[in-house]
């Protein structure tokens, strides 16, 4: 789900989009914030994600240096994730996106067909 064509671009912006330009990664980074979280927690909190996809995304985020993974050799296993410096530096950008959305998002006007019994 990385896009290699983008990741190999000579434009830094395009490369950035090639690595974090999907819906899951910003959501995961936003959920983590400054917290240290375990796999099961993320699975429970990130909306609509399956474990398979969560695993993939976490692996790529680690490979791209956005988060750190700490595996404890215990049984049952315990793994903790937390954002790296690079990942933490991305948080303000997500905050800007939130503010941008709040400022400009148009309130959805329900269509007539949304009412089962229009008065």
Partner DNA sequence: TATTCTGGTTACCAATGGGTAACTACAAAT
Partner DNA sequence: ATTTGTAGTTACCCATTGGTAACCAGAATA
Query: How many helical (H) and strand (E) elements, i.e. helices and strands, does the chain have?
Result: 7, 3
* Residue 59 or 86 with smaller CB distance to DNA: 59
For position 77 contacting DNA by CB under 7 A, the verdict is yes
Q: Percent helix, strand and coil across the chain, each rounded to 5?
A: 55, 10, 35
For position 23 contacting DNA by CB under 7 A, the verdict is yes
In the complex, the smallest distance separating the C-beta of residue 88 from its own copies, rounded to whole angstroms, is 10
Per CB under 8 A, which of residues 61..90 are in contact with its own copies? 65, 85-86, 89-90
Question: Which residue bears the tokens 């064509």?
Answer: 5
Q: How many residues bind DNA (CB under 7 A)?
A: 23
- What's the CA gap between 18 and 20, in Å, rounded? 6
In the complex, the smallest distance separating the C-beta of residue 102 from DNA, rounded to whole angstroms, is 25
């Amino acid at each position: 789900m990385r896009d290699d064509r983008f990741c190999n671009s000579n434009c830094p912006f395009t490369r950035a989009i090639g690595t974090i330009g999907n819906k899951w990664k910003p959501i995961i980074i936003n959920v983590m914030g400054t917290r240290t979280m375990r796999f099961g927690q993320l699975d429970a909190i990130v909306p609509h994600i399956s474990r398979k996809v969560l695993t993939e995304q976490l692996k790529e985020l680690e490979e791209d240096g956005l988060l750190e993974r700490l595996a404890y050799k215990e049984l049952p296993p315990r793994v903790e994730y937390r954002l790296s410096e690079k990942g933490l530096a991305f948080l303000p950008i997500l905050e800007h996106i939130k503010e941008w959305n709040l400022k400009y998002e148009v309130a959805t006007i329900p269509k007539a067909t949304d009412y089962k019994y229009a008065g």
